[in-house]
Structure 1
Amino acid sequence: MADDGITIGTVVRADFFWKNEPKADGKARNCVIIARKGRMAIIAPFTTLDHEGQANCTRISDRETAHIDRMKDDKSSYINLGEQNLVYLDGPRIHRAARPKAGQDSRIHGQLSPGLSQSLSKSAIELKVKPAKKQIDKDWKEDLLHFRGREAAAAVTGNGALQAPAREDRVRKLAEDLHARRTTEKKKVLSIGRPGQDR
């Protein structure tokens, strides 16, 4: 496993795909990692909907959420283990923090305590939920469209032959490009309407 600080209980921000809410597909939200193998992970979403008492939902205390980015202080938080996505941690649907903490991976938005993290992972295994693969499928489709051009999809080797980059490299590049665009767009929005500027 990569030494990037991302483990079970790490909170990431991802475009989450719901099973029964197609209109909510891809909405960015905080999610917790409940299993990981290499660059792939299973995530479950945070929600403010009251599912307390249901086997698939666990209430998260204010003490746990206090150090997590973008959490609403005035609402109770739950983790819905009944909804799970399989994701690429280096894919474009994982959001990077614009200003990560010093020495911290930009994909990390918080960390649950070890005890709670292990409890959630164990509960998730017992529920036997089949994680949705829609996020990964979407990553591949965008990846293949983005690199369809001959020059973009191939690198010239020493003997002049064309060799397509590995899929993993293409997904990482797609994620880097998307992060760069998001950062640029945020800077543009912040610069609009500054006092003294001509419109």
Structure 2
Amino acid sequence: MAAIDLSPLNLRRAPARRGVQLFAGLTLYGASMAMLTRAHLGLDPWDVLHEGLTKLTGLSFGTVTAIASVFVLLLWIPLRQKPGIGTVANVVVIAVTVDAVRAVLPDQSVLIWQILTMVGGIVANAVATAVYVGTRLGPGPRDGLMTGLHARTGWSVRLVRTGIEVLVLACGWLLGGTAGAGTVLYALSIGPLTQALLPLATWTREKEQHQRLPTA
């Protein structure tokens, strides 16, 4: 499959529609993270790593997450990735949404509801990733690593995303992070789901021209 162009587009192009898509995707992403934490069937791979690093260093979960984000952004340099408004919004919108959704979504203790919450969270996470990355307004630190590797290697988004998730999961587990059935399902499914959804949500110059066409 040909590489999907996920490089940033000029902000002057359809800014309102792309802005709405960006914040909708980030809000959904935060909600999906909250769902996974409430399902209690395993954290997503990055949070398994964050938890493992927290146990190793004694630092707070939030501090470790911030340090990991800075480290990931440093990996952008050889990939020639550039941050954008989406990169900044990623940190702020997702953090607020996670806390807001967790405040109203209770912990799940019945297995069927745990499974439904877990699966719903994974699917929502894939949709959210495609929606906000597809605006081409700048991915978040971790998704920027994915898109950068995709652009520089020509490997599919499915292969790159799955490879990153499996590697991060393995490191987190070795450091003592908590993994479960949801972690494995997330790591194996998020790449293929995102790969399938990105073409539907990604802005192109053709789509921008279509949006600009006058109506009769």
Same-fold call, TM cutoff 0.5? no
Higher relative contact order (CA 8 A, sep 6+): 2
TM normalised by structure 1 equals: 0.30
Of Structure 1 and Structure 2, the greater strand share is in 1
Structure number with larger C-alpha Rg: 1
Of Structure 1 and Structure 2, the greater helix share is in 2
